Every structure is written in structure tokens, then in C-alpha cells.
Amino acid sequence: MNWVIFAIGSAFFAGLTAILGKLGVEGINSNLATFIRTIVVLAVAGGIITLRNEWQLPQHIATKPFIFLLLSGVATGLSWLCYYRALQLAPASWVAPIDKLSVVIAIVLGVVLLGEPISLKLIIGSILILSGVLVLAL
């Protein structure tokens, strides 16, 4: 159940990110704001790795996982750039729910690309998330 604690932490900090980000992009270019945020994320992650003494690299990093990590980093960067620009243009209470469509997109991609199993619960949950986004966005 440790993953649930981290997932809840992720949701909490993502929600906090929307509010702090909205306040942070006032009067500053959204791309520069994303760059500053990225430097802070890098420093925090580096600090945690240092405190936990986890700087040891594996003897061999396979090419495939490394490429996917690089692509994930590109996707994260593009997501953050879009998110901060949207926050600059609209209220956080409008942007954040639409951003959460990422949950439905991740579910669809998990099923289609990773072969994850489909269940009635997964379908109903996805429809509810999509419905909630539509209610909040329209």
C-alpha cells in the first residue's frame, strides 16, 4: 500500500502546484517560470538523492529504458510548458481539471500500448473523470 501514500502525495502536491504556479506566473513569461520550476525540481531531487545516498548508478543502463526516460522527460517538459501557459491565460480552477484528463489519457494508453487489462471499474471511472472535466470546463 506504499504506492497509495505516494499517489495521494502526488495528487496533493499537483493540486498545490496549480495554485502556486498560478501565483508564480503573474508578471513573468510562462516559459521562464517553467525553467525556474525545473531548476527547483532538479535541486530538490538532487538533494533527496544525496540525503538517501542514492547516487550509485547501475553498472549498465539498458538503451530502451534510458530512451523512454529521455522521452518521458521531454513529455514532462512540454506538459509543464503548456500547463504554465494555460495558468497564465486562465484561472487555476479551469486549468487544473482539464489537466486531469491526463488520467484518462494514461488509462487509454496503458490499455492500448501496454496491454493493461480493461475492467468495468476502469471504464466507469474513466467516464466519471471525463464527465467531471466536461462539467467543470463547460
Q: How many Å apart are CA 136 and CA 138, to the nearest integer? A: 6
pLDDT top residue among 1 and 68: 68
Which 8-state DSSP code applies to residue 118? P
Domains in the chain: boundaries: 1-88, 90-137
Q: What is the pLDDT of residue 49?
A: 94
In this prediction, what percent of the chain has a pLDDT beyond 90? 67
pLDDT one-digit tens code per residue, 103-113: 999 999 999 99
Mean pLDDT of the residues in the chain: 91
Concatenate the DSSP letters of all residues of 74-109 into one string.
HHHHHHHHHHHHHHHHS-HHHHHHHHTHHHHHHHHH
Contact 95/107 with Cβ under 8 angstroms?
Answer: no
Q: What is the pLDDT of residue 72?
A: 93
pLDDT one-digit tens code per residue, 63-104: 888 899 999 999 999 999 999 999 999 999 899 999 999 999
